[in-house]
Every structure is written in structure tokens, then in C-alpha cells.
């Protein structure tokens, strides 16, 4: 189990909360894990704990703390609407500053991954933040807003073939702009990693996780010294 800590954003000096999941055995690296629109939910904490069990010290910042501290929405219509509104009211420059604070709170190598809104924020981090060794973006619809920016670390992308919120032409646009980046497609819809959502697809989630861990291992995430 993890703990809540405070980070000081490099954007404006704001102190935001973050969930930290420590490793109990040999450490492979640090990992910034970026939430969906729903905030730092139990699902996000469980994902963080899972990566920690694999040897990654995880920090999952609470990006909407300026709007509502401790925000963790349900998956109902009210939660979706509020999460969407908060995501739209959270500017990318601010997000990059918050991510940078999380990176600097971890010993290298440091990786980043994120889901839904966090998938786009992961792309943002790969393009703008310092000190990252690799990035894995999961179904980031708003990557299209940032597609003209180029990741500065090894980056992979995961998308569901039947994701109604991310048409395949948007995925193809990313491929055309960044032909050297691996783009993986799965027989699944949006949010296929989350067992709280109707589009949960266990086989796709496992395969995407395997590819993510392989990326990290290939870019410095080897088994290291004890925590």
C-alpha cells in the first residue's frame, strides 16, 4: 500500500497531492503514473501498486487539486461530466510543470505512463519534460492537440480499434507525423485497461502492460539495488 505525499509544481509553486507507491524489493526505476479524467481513484492507486510490485517506485499526482483537492469521481454521467470539465480547465503548461515535479521527486531512471486524458499528458511529458527515459501512452484522445510536438524519449502508444472517442484517422495522423514511433492497436474500446469500465478487455490490458514493461526494461529499467 502506498501513501499520499505533496509535490511543489514547477509551473506556479502550487502544492498538489500525489499517491506514492514504494517498491518493497529491488528497484527498477521511478514511474510517473497519470490519471484518467476521473482523478486519483482507487483504480489508479491499484495500477500504481501493481507497477510498484514490478519494481517501479510510482508517483501518481492529483492534477485537479487546484480545482478540487482529492478529486476522485465515479464512472457515472456526473463523474464523466465533472472530469471532462476539470480536464478542460487544466492547461497543458500547468500539467507539464506538475509532471516535472513528480519526475524530480524520483531517482532515475524515470518513466511515465498514463490513461485517457493521462495518455495525452504522457505524450506532453515525453515532449516537454526533462529527465524521462521512456513513455507509454494509453488511448490519449487529446494527443491530436499536441501531435505537432515530438517526444524526446522512446515512446509507444496504445489504442483500441473500436474506441468511438478516437477515430482511426486520428491514430493514422499520429502515425504519419511520427512514423518511427510504435503504435499498437488492440481489439478493444476506450479504457480497456480499467476493470471498472464496460470496455475492459483483460487480454488487451495484459498485452499492453507487457509491451510497456518491455519498453521500460529496454531503456534503463533493469533490476537494480534494494529499495
pLDDT digits (tens, 9 = 90+) for 107-129: 999 999 999 999 999 999 999 99
Q: What is the mean pLDDT of the chain?
A: 96
- Residue among 155, 199, 187, 193 nearest 174 (CA): 155
pTM for the whole thing? 0.96
Closest CA to 139 of 215, 58, 73, 205: 205
Per-residue pLDDT tens over the stretch 6-35: 999 999 999 999 999 999 889 999 999 999
pLDDT digits (tens, 9 = 90+) for 89-107: 999 999 999 999 999 999 9
Locate 100 and state its grid cell: 516535472
pLDDT of residue 227: 47
DSSP run (H or E) holding 34:
strand 29-34
Comparing 199 with 201, which gets the higher pLDDT? Answer: 201
Task: Enumerate domains of the chain plus CATH numbers.
Answer: 3-218 (3.40.50.1820)
194 vs 7, 138, 206, 223, CA distance in Å? 26, 11, 11, 27
Q: Rounded to whole angstroms, how far apart are CA atoms 133 and 220? A: 7
pLDDT tens digits, residue range 213-224? 999 999 999 866
H/E segment holding residue 204: helix 202-218
Q: In DSSP terms, which residues pair with 57 in a beta bridge? A: 30
**CB-CB contact of 23 with 227 (8 Å):** yes
Reading the block at residue 2, the C-alpha cell is: 502506498
Helix ranges (H only) for 30-137 are 42-53, 77-88, 92-104, 117-128
Residue 177 in this model has a pLDDT that exceeds 80:
yes
Mean pLDDT across the stretch 51-69? 97
Apex CA 210: angle with CA 103 and CA 51, to 5°? Answer: 40
Name every residue whose Cβ is closer than 8 Å to that of residue 77 and which is 6 or more positions away in sequence.
none
pLDDT above 90 as % of the chain: 94
Pick the closest to residue 19 from 35, 34, 2 (CA basis): 2
Amino acid at each position: 500500500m502506498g501513501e499520499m505525499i505533496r509535490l511543489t509544481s514547477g509551473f506556479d509553486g502550487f502544492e498538489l497531492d500525489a499517491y506514492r507507491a514504494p517498491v518493497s524489493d529491488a528497484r527498477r526505476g521511478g514511474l510517473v503514473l497519470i490519471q484518467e479524467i476521473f482523478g486519483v481513484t482507487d483504480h489508479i492507486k491499484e495500477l500504481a501498486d501493481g507497477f510498484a510490485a514490478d519494481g517501479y517506485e510510482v508517483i501518481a499526482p492529483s492534477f485537479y487539486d487546484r480545482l478540487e483537492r482529492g478529486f476522485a469521481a465515479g464512472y457515472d454521467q456526473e463523474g464523466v461530466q465533472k472530469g471532462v470539465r476539470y480536464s478542460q480547465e487544466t492547461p497543458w503548461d500547468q500539467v507539464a510543470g506538475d509532471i516535472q515535479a513528480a519526475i524530480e521527486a524520483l531517482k532515475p531512471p524515470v518513466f511515465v505512463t498514463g490513461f485517457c486524458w493521462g495518455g495525452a499528458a504522457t505524450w506532453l511529458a515525453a515532449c516537454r519534460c526533462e529527465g524521462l527515459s521512456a513513455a507509454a501512452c494509453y488511448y490519449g484522445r487529446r494527443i491530436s492537440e499536441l501531435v505537432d510536438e515530438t517526444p524526446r524519449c522512446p515512446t509507444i502508444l496504445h489504442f483500441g480499434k473500436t474506441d468511438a472517442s478516437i477515430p482511426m484517422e486520428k491514430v493514422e495522423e499520429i502515425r504519419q507525423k511520427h512514423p518511427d514511433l510504435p503504435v499498437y492497436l488492440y481489439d478493444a474500446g476506450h479504457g480497456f485497461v480499467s476493470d471498472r469500465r464496460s470496455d475492459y478487455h483483460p487480454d488487451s490490458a495484459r498485452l499492453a502492460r507487457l509491451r510497456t514493461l518491455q519498453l521500460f526494461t529496454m531503456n534503463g529499467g533493469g533490476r537494480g539495488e534494494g529499495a
